[in-house]
């Protein structure tokens, strides 16, 4: 079971630098010229959870493995990308199968870092990128409606949905903002590879000087998109923190009045928007967190470990996180009757410590 986040934005907004910070290593080149990210970069990002540290100490686990999100970083988009400008529409194909869009927007001034449009205007930048995504999706759906391609066959229901979405796109409507689709239709459009139906949030990249108090660019973004999630972050600051030890990082965050770093906030936002939570498997070898949908039944949760666990699912031994900590581990939890045996219809809860029984 994988969950992925696609990172989009104009060139030189700090997108690839943020990608580096998220991965905590330099896997994407971050340079001051357009199109420095030629091939899409992918990496799995750990979603930190302090509960795992506590569980590992109780059980004496040798290592901790956090749940992850896959991040996909593509080349910066420019005006006309859907028609082949810049690096062209083909790079959008790399994010057509992600689950969530993270749109990085420039909210800082720096004369040494060029802007492809020649001036800083976050709202215009968002509209430019999202217009290109609308154009790209229109092209995909136009093929569906007109059945372009050899041997292409679509059901009447699929064609009706494609026409409905295409009409909206042709009128400049970003599909996830429309409120015109039910859950089943959203899932079907995702299968078609439609980007604008995906949930999205914005990361406002700010300078260190403006990060404490905000600036007019952030204000304009919040005013234009009042119902959307906008996370102010100083990517440069986050990158610098990678070079500091824990104590030095704490001092820097205290200086900026931050309760947690931007990295964790971005990841938690993505995690929540994807309707995910975490269950745990704990043993002497490892304490591990697994990302699952909040409505996942026990067999599906077991499948996050291995498909055989789902196919041959028998039952799950479950202890809540609070009970596990209070009882100081598996043995006492069992003795006190805190361990429950759950079946196929059980919805796994956030923080459950699980042991699955299966047969294949």
Beta bridge partners of 319: 353
The reply to whether 13 sits in an annotated binding site is yes
The reply to whether 17 sits in an annotated binding site is yes
Domain boundaries, the chain: 295-358
36 pLDDT band (50/70/90 cuts)? Answer: very low
Packing angle of the helix pair 262-273, 15-23 (nearest 10 deg): 90
33 pLDDT band (50/70/90 cuts)? Answer: very low
Nearest to 328 by CA among 64, 66, 54, 53: 54
What pLDDT is attached to residue 87?
45
Q: Per-residue pLDDT tens for 118-149?
A: 789 999 999 999 998 999 899 889 988 887 65
The answer to which of 42-56, 62-76, 78-92, 282-296 has the lowest mean pLDDT is 78-92
CATH class for the region spanning 295-358 = alpha beta
**φ, ψ (nearest 5 deg) of residue 203:** -115, 115
The reply to whether 50 sits in an annotated binding site is no
Q: Tell me the mean pLDDT in the region 234-240.
A: 88
Over the chain, what HEC string results? CCCEEEEECCCCCCHHHHHHHHHCCCCCCCCCCCCCCCCCEEEEEECCCHHHHHHHHHHCCCEEECCEEEEEECCCCCCCHHHCCCCCHHHHHHHCCCCEEEEEEECCCCCCCCCCCCCCCHHHHHHHHHHHHHHHHHHHHHHHHHCCCCCCCCCHHHHHHHHHHHHHHHCCCCHHHCCCCCHHHHHHHHHCCCCCCCCEEEEEECCHHHHCCCCHHHHHHHHHCCCCCEEEECHHHHHHHCCCCHHHHHHHHHHCCCCCCHHHHHHHHHHHHCCEEEEEEECCCEEEEEEEECCCEHHHHHHCCCHHHHHCEEEEEEECHHHHHHCCCHHHHHHCCCCEEECCCCECCCCCEEEEEECC
Is pLDDT larger for residue 291 or for residue 27? Answer: 291
In whole angstroms, give the CA distance from residue 229 to residue 202.
6
Q: Tell me the mean pLDDT in the region 240-268.
A: 81
What pLDDT is attached to residue 303?
95
What pLDDT is attached to residue 27?
47
What pLDDT is attached to residue 152?
63
306-312: long-range pairs with CB below 8 Å, 24+: 308/358, 308/360, 309/356, 309/358, 311/358, 311/360, 312/358, 312/359, 312/360
CB contact burial 157-175 (16+ within 10 A = b; e otherwise): ebeebbebbbebbeeeebb
pLDDT tops 60 at residue 269:
yes
pLDDT tops 80 at residue 88:
no
Q: Per-residue pLDDT tens for 144-195?
A: 888 765 556 778 888 999 999 999 999 999 999 999 999 999 999 999 999 9
What pLDDT is attached to residue 62?
94
The reply to whether 196 sits in an annotated binding site is no
The answer to which of 88-92, 228-232, 310-314 has the lowest mean pLDDT is 88-92
Nearest to 45 by CA among 67, 73, 18, 29: 67
Q: Tell me the mean pLDDT in the region 252-261.
A: 79
**φ, ψ (nearest 5 deg) of residue 347:** -90, 115
Confidence (pTM): 0.84
Q: Residue 225: which residues within 8 A CB-CB, separation 6 or more?
A: 126, 202
The reply to whether 14 sits in an annotated binding site is yes
Nearest to 71 by CA among 141, 137, 24, 135: 24
């Amino acid at each position: 079971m994988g969950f992925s986040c696609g990172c989009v934005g104009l060139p030189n907004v700090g997108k690839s630098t943020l990608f580096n910070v998220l991965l905590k290593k330099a896997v994407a080149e971050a340079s001051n010229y357009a199109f420095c990210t030629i091939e899409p970069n992918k990496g799995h990002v750990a979603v930190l959870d302090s509960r795992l540290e506590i569980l590992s100490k109780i059980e004496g686990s040798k290592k901790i493995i956090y749940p992850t999100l896959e991040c996909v970083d593509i080349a910066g988009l420019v005006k006309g990308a859907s028609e082949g400008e810049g690096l062209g529409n083909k790079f959008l194909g790399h994010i057509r199968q992600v689950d969530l869009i993270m749109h990085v927007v420039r909210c800082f001034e720096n004369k040494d870092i060029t802007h492809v449009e020649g001036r800083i205007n976050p709202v215009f930048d968002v509209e430019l990128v999202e217009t290109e995504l609308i154009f790209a999706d229109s092209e995909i759906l136009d093929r569906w409606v007109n059945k372009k391609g050899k041997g292409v066959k679509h059901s009447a229901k699929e064609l009706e949905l494609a026409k409905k979405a295409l009409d909206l796109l042709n009128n400049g409507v970003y599909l996830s903002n429309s409120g015109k689709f039910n859950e089943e239709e959203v899932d079907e459009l995702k299968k078609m590879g439609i980007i604008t139906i995906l949930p999205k949030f914005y990361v406002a990249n700010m300078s260190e000087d403006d990060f404490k108090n905000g600036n007019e660019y952030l204000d304009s973004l919040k005013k234009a998109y009042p119902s959307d999630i906008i996370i102010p972050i100083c990517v440069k600051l986050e990158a610098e923190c990678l070079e500091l030890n824990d104590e030095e990082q704490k001092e820097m965050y205290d200086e900026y009045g931050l309760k947690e770093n931007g990295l964790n906030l971005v990841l938690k936002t993505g995690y929540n928007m994807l309707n995910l939570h975490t269950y745990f498997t704990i043993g002497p070898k490892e304490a591990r967190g697994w990302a699952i949908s909040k409505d996942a039944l026990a067999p599906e949760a077991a499948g996050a470990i291995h498909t055989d666990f789902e196919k041959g699912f028998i039952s799950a031994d479950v202890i809540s996180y609070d009970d596990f900590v209070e009882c100081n581990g598996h043995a006492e939890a069992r003795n006190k009757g805190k361990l429950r045996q759950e079946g196929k219809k059980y919805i796994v809860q956030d923080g459950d410590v699980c042991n699955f029984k299966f047969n294949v």
